[in-house]
Amino acid sequence: MSFYGRFGELGSMAKIGAQNIQQHLARGLQPVYLVAGDEPLQSMETVDAIRAAARQAGHSLREVFEVDRQFDWSRLLESGNSMSLFAEQRILEVRLPSGAPGKEGGKAIVEYCQRPADDAILLIQSGKIDKRSKNSAWFKALMQFVVVEVWPIKPAEIVRWIGERMASRGLQADRDAVRLVAQRVEGNMLAAAQEIEKLLLLLGPGAVTAEQVREAVANSARYNPFDLIDSALMGEKAAPRCVRMLQGLKGEGVQPPQVLAPLVNELRNLHAMALQVEAGRPPAAVMGKVWNQRKNLVGSALGRLSSSLLSDLLRHAAHIDRINKGAAHGYDAWLELQTLFLTLAGQPLALRTA
């Protein structure tokens, strides 16, 4: 069977959001897919949708390639060039957690994309693709087909997403119930999906109140220092969330230095950008190294954070570092971190800058 006869002629490159994958698949399959990103629920569900559509189209065999440092990329090319013993159509699934195939992997991907297998769909599931890789030949080769980039839902959108997810599962939740689920899972979409399934199992379809959620939903909040930093940059309205996240990190066994290190890096970058803004450069011109997904957040923070305040925050961070190293006694590193994050969020507190 010819390539175009089975898949249809390819148009221009396609980059779609995870939320549009079903609509895309309804129009027919393409021979190559890349699903990239570090948000596990959307990545998993996108890959599952592509697999299901491929199976429905007759791709009954599945070959899985787990990529590590010792992986031989010639295996992928050999599989693509060989026909199934019983002429069955296949899914060639490459799992690339690092988001970077390396030199040999990049060559193999380019070569495969030049002549995709007639009887197979290549499905690459990857970690987050960095900016440098997006300029590579292998990524551009994949962009001739379908690339699905998976981004975590923004904190401001998680309540709406949870409400829509509950409704899609037959749960008619009131506003307080939705907000309570959002508070319990703290932005973890996979945990939210699991809790919604638990509610459906325990309560069945129908109306759901906050009291029912309170009784049924386990506290499955998961935190990381980078989300905490982004919450602080959102400003004063996010201050209560910062406190909850900091307490959550402490409760999960994270140590203060693990929170402080990425925060200091962020503060240094903000301080350098603030100095340039105060010298007359527009904020957009000083954020060249900031990820596109964070530019609005960082730009907003630069509008309210002076270089002087950021210098004070860095000095307070140095004080916390001394606590961590045992050089400053009588202080609680977690309380000092809370002061630091709340000040960054816009609540002026007494910083230790000596």
Q: What is the pLDDT of residue 220?
A: 53
How many CB atoms sit inside 10 A of residue 210's CB? 16
What's the pLDDT tens digit per position in 239-288?
A: 888 998 998 889 888 899 999 999 999 999 999 999 999 999 888 889 98
Report if residue 354 sits inside a domain.
no
Report if residue 286 sits inside a domain.
yes
In whole angstroms, give the CA distance from residue 18 to residue 15. 10
Residues 103 and 170 grouped into a single domain: no
Lowest mean pLDDT among 22-26, 216-220, 297-301: 216-220
Instruction: Check whether 4 has a pLDDT greater than 60.
Output: no
Stated length of the chain: 354
Residues 231 and 268 grouped into a single domain: yes
Q: What angle do CA 175, 180, 186 make, to 5 degrees?
A: 125
Q: What's the domain range around 310?
A: 225-345
Of 339, 197, 187, 154, the closest CA to residue 263 belongs to 339
Instruction: Check whether 1 has a pLDDT greater than 50.
Output: no
What's the pLDDT tens digit per position in 70-118?
A: 899 999 999 988 876 666 899 999 999 888 999 999 999 999 999 999 8
Q: What is the pLDDT of residue 339?
A: 92
Give the domain CATH number at 167: 1.10.8.60
Residues 16 and 143 grouped into a single domain: yes
Report if residue 351 sits inside a domain.
no
Output DSSP code: residue 143: T
Q: What angle do CA 247, 273, 287 make, to 5 degrees?
A: 90
Residues 284 and 186 grouped into a single domain: no
Inter-CA distances, 268 with 265, 310, 315, Å: 5, 8, 11
| Mean pLDDT, the chain, whole residue set | 87
Q: What is the pLDDT of residue 327?
A: 83
In whole angstroms, give the CA distance from residue 21 to residue 77. 27
**Contact yes or no for 129/36 (Cβ under 8 A):** yes
Residues 113 and 127 grouped into a single domain: yes
- Residue 223 pLDDT level (bands cut at 50, 70, 90): confident
In whole angstroms, give the CA distance from residue 346 to residue 27. 48
β-pairing, 32-37 vs 146-150, is parallel
pTM of the model: 0.64
In whole angstroms, give the CA distance from residue 104 to residue 109. 9
Q: Please state the rounded mean pLDDT for residues 298-304.
A: 91
Report if residue 233 sits inside a domain.
yes
Q: Please state the rounded mean pLDDT for residues 200-228.
A: 81
Report if residue 210 sits inside a domain.
yes
Q: Please state the rounded mean pLDDT for residues 28-53.
A: 93
In whole angstroms, give the CA distance from residue 130 to residue 90. 29
